[in-house]
C-alpha cells in the first residue's frame, strides 16, 4: 500500500482577469494505486463539501505519491 497526497483546486479570477489555482482541500490517502487513491479522495471530498459531484466545488485534482516526494 502506498500513501498519496491528493489536492483539489478551484480556478478563481482576480480583479485583473488573471486566473489562480486555489487549494480547496488536501487529503492523504492510503491505497494500492493512484486510481484507487483518486476514487477515495473524491468520495471524501464530496462528503466533506456535501455535494454529489466533486466538480461542483473544484476544477481539478492531482495525486502525488508521497514516497516519491520524500525521495
Query: How many structural domains is the chain composed of?
Result: 1
CA-closest candidate to residue 54, choices 7, 1, 5? 7
Quick one: CA torsion of 52, 10, 1, 39, rounded to 10 degrees?
20
- pLDDT-based confidence at 69, cuts 50/70/90? confident
pLDDT of res. 71: 64
C-alpha–C-alpha distance, residues 43 and 54, integer Å: 8
> For 22-54, what is each residue's pLDDT tens digit?
999 999 999 999 999 999 999 999 999 999 999
Range of the domain at 34: 2-66
71 is a domain residue: no
Helix (H, G, I), strand (E, B) or coil at 52: coil
pTM of the model: 0.87
6 is a domain residue: yes
Amino acid at each position: 500500500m502506498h500513501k498519496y497526497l491528493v489536492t483539489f483546486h478551484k480556478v478563481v479570477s482576480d480583479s485583473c482577469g488573471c486566473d489562480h489555482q486555489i487549494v480547496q482541500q488536501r487529503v492523504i490517502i492510503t491505497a494500492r494505486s493512484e486510481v484507487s487513491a483518486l476514487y477515495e479522495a473524491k468520495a471524501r471530498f464530496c462528503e466533506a463539501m456535501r455535494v454529489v459531484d466533486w466538480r461542483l466545488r473544484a476544477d481539478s485534482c492531482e495525486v502525488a505519491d508521497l514516497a516519491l516526494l520524500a525521495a
